[in-house]
Chain A
Amino acid sequence: MVKLTAYEQKMFQGEMGEFKQKALEFIVKYAHVLGAEELCEITRATLFIGAQHYLDCFETDDYEEIFSQFYLSSDKKIKMGRFSDNCVCQTCAAACDLSDYVTTHLSKEFFDRDRRFLEITKQAGVNIVNSCTPYYVGWIPLMGEHFVTTESSNTLMSNSLFGAYGNSDGIEAAVCSAICGRSPLWGNHLKENRYGTVVFNIQCKSDTVYDWDLIGYTVGRYLPFSEKPIISGNFKRPNINKMRQLFSALATTSAAEICHVVGITPEAHTLDMALGGKPPKKIINITEAQYKESEKMICDPGSGEIDYVNIGCPHLALDELRDVAFYLEGKKVKDQVEFLVWTDYATKAMSDANGYTKMIEEAGAHVLTGSCPVVMKEESHKHAKAMVMNGAKQAHAIKAQTKAKVYFGDIYQCMDAAVRGRWEEGEGWRK
């Protein structure tokens, strides 16, 4: 039985309106499934909402009806109320770019629907931010702060690097938590569950964002179910962009929600601290051979013509947009190639102000915001015959949506391929 405070009881009984009551009912049911005994207060949320494709199952266009059934698990239509006033709520990755639906082959009808849905939740208290890397633009939960997020890499980032407390709750629960301001006090919300259990000794390359992408993918492949990884060994000190890539890929091949990096993350000043003084359940070496095996799993073999290049999974930081701009300076993207570069719109505004967007667009690429091919789904990329992707998560997940060849490389290999109109195997994973 889940124990509720007097405040929560009032909400549960409907004294704060039906909207909050239904949200809390779901959270209590979820707490029961987990075996949680009480709830904790949530003060930050990022939500994967708008006209996302998981809502394509609805025939109705009435957002309140959709919202009630999907997020609140209520067959009865509930009037949209306010999200929690004590919770900073914003949108996660979006169903399409904030203003451009033409470049990504989506319809005006779909774009309008997405904007309409986002306006409704904005009125209810959810800022339109459209970012899967919200920490670049100020959404940073502090150490010990309880958060919810629908972005798996952000769950890892917020738990591991910021020392905040959260689980990979999923969309329905995250939305309900953002409305009622509560989540089950369970899992990573409790310090005793946050210690690492399996140590990964990094023996492979760890210089670039691409290396950390592959480290994340590989650690995820070898992480036993329900265990918590610790990154240890002789790695090069990573920055936040490399952490982003590590966590994004790790959440692709595993269900990890927290990952300590010795000497980098706040609950892992030392290996012993990360382990909570207990011996590790397992120690696994990540070697160059395993790194290369991961590359081979993500990147299709061979060379060939390409017509679709995508970088920015997760969304790029301003310093990376600068690197892209200067690398593309004086170069031209091949005519048949569609080249998309993804960031969030706040970062794009900074890129505009610095002239980076103009440089990238003059080379023939498109700087887009808020979304990505996997989230936009088949409609946006079904014409592609051969794709080049950066981001192991994107390259891995797009394969479920396409029969096209999918090549995987770092942003420079992606840019070279876009300019040449070809993927050259020797310059990719077999270099």
Chain B
Amino acid sequence: MEKIIIKGRPAMGGIVEAPALVFPDSLAGNSGSLQDKTGIIMEKGNPNRGLSIKGSILVLPCAKGSNGFSAHFKAAKISGVCPAGWVITKVDSRLGVAVASLDVPAVADFEEVDPVQVIKTGDWVKIDGDTGLVEITRNPL
């Protein structure tokens, strides 16, 4: 199985592996874009609309939309719907708060490659939030 390893800055410690959910155009932070209780993506035009963030490694270029961005992820976590980890091309304040608030492993600030271009939804991704290493195994389907 083809494995790709990329490296970013360790942003939140811990090791986790899970399938990737890639947001090429990020996710709007406005109320309703991510359902607070179910963690289901509702943003119109988002390729992941209808899917849940639960148990996935979320791959995003950065945040977008309302400053409330992190609160919707936090509400989902309190409702028992939490992503497994984060891979972020370039961290910004909205996403930084979400990472600190959810307390799951995260790697951010990639300089040589853009993880949003490299990782496809459904790929198996292992992230190490202490070293910044991200190991990608292609989804054979």
Which residues of A approach B to under 8 Å, CB–CB? Answer: 26, 29-30, 32-35, 48, 52-58, 69-70, 73, 149-152, 155, 167-174, 184, 186-187, 225-226, 251-255, 257, 374-375, 377, 393, 396-401
Contact for A57 among B42, B69, B79, B101, CB less than 8 A: B79
Q: Complex Cα distance A146/B66, Å?
A: 20
Among listed B29-37, B51-59, B120-128, B133-141, interface-contacting one? B29-37
Q: Which residues of A contact B94 (CB under 8 A)?
A: 168-170, 255
- Size category, B interface: 35 or more
Known: A56-B36, A56-B75, A226-B62. A149 touches B67 (CB 8 A): yes
Q: Which residue of B lies closest to A28 (CB)?
A: B100
Q: 1/0 contact trace for B69-89 toward A, CB 8 Å?
A: 111101110110000000001
Q: Which residues of A contact B64 (CB under 8 A)?
A: 253-255
* Minimum C-beta distance from A39 to chain B (A): 14
Contact for B93 among A169, A374, A396, A399, CB less than 8 A: A169
Q: Which residues of A contact B90 (CB under 8 A)?
A: 225-226
Interface: B12 (CB within 8 A): yes
Contact B99 A155 (CB under 8 A): no
Contact for A255 among B9, B92, B100, B103, CB less than 8 A: B92
Known: A168-B94, A400-B30, A400-B32. A30 touches B100 (CB 8 A): yes
Interface: B20 (CB within 8 A): no
Contact for B75 among A57, A257, A377, CB less than 8 A: A57
Which B residues, 20 to 41, have Cβ-Cβ distances below 8 Å to chain A? Answer: 26, 28-33, 36-37
Contact B32 A255 (CB under 8 A): no
Known: A30-B96, A56-B37, A252-B30. A170 touches B67 (CB 8 A): yes
Q: Which residues of B contact A70 (CB under 8 A)?
A: 71, 74-75, 78
Q: Which residue of B lies closest to A36 (CB)?
A: B96
Known: A169-B97, A400-B42, A400-B43. A251 touches B66 (CB 8 A): yes
- Could you list some 10 contacts between A and B, CB below 8 A? A33-B106, A54-B72, A57-B76, A70-B78, A73-B103, A149-B67, A170-B29, A170-B101, A187-B93, A255-B92
Interface: B61 (CB within 8 A): yes
Interface: B98 (CB within 8 A): yes
Known: A55-B75, A172-B101, A399-B44. A35 touches B68 (CB 8 A): no
* Minimum C-beta distance from A417 to chain B (A): 22
Contact for A374 among B30, B71, B99, B101, CB less than 8 A: B30
* Minimum C-beta distance from A96 to chain B (A): 14
Q: Knowing that A54-B75, A400-B44 are A-B contacts, what are 9 other residue pairs whose CB atoms are under 8 Å apart, sorted by A's residue number?
A: A26-B101, A69-B78, A169-B94, A170-B70, A171-B70, A171-B97, A173-B100, A187-B92, A255-B26
* Minimum C-beta distance from B46 to chain A (A): 9
Known: A30-B100, A34-B93, A226-B62. A54 touches B71 (CB 8 A): yes
Q: Which residues of B contact A173 (CB under 8 A)?
A: 70, 93, 96-97, 100-101
Interface: B63 (CB within 8 A): yes
Interface: B119 (CB within 8 A): no
* Minimum C-beta distance from B59 to chain A (A): 13
Q: Which residues of A contact B63 (CB under 8 A)?
A: 168, 255
Contact B61 A29 (CB under 8 A): no
Known: A226-B90, A255-B26, A400-B42. A33 touches B99 (CB 8 A): yes
Known: A251-B66, A400-B44. A57 touches B31 (CB 8 A): no
Contact B68 A171 (CB under 8 A): yes
* Minimum C-beta distance from B39 to chain A (A): 10
* Minimum C-beta distance from A92 to chain B (A): 9
Q: Which residues of B contact A30 (CB under 8 A)?
A: 96-97, 100
Q: Which residue of A lies closest to B25 (CB)?
A: A225
Contact A57 B43 (CB under 8 A): no
Interface: B50 (CB within 8 A): no
Q: Which residues of A contact B67 (CB under 8 A)?
A: 48, 149-152, 155, 168-171, 174, 251
Q: Which residue of B lies closest to A26 (CB)?
A: B100
Q: Which residues of A contact B108 (CB under 8 A)?
A: 33
* Minimum C-beta distance from A218 to chain B (A): 15
Q: Which residue of B lies closest to A46 (CB)?
A: B67
Q: Complex Cα distance A70/B109, Å?
A: 27
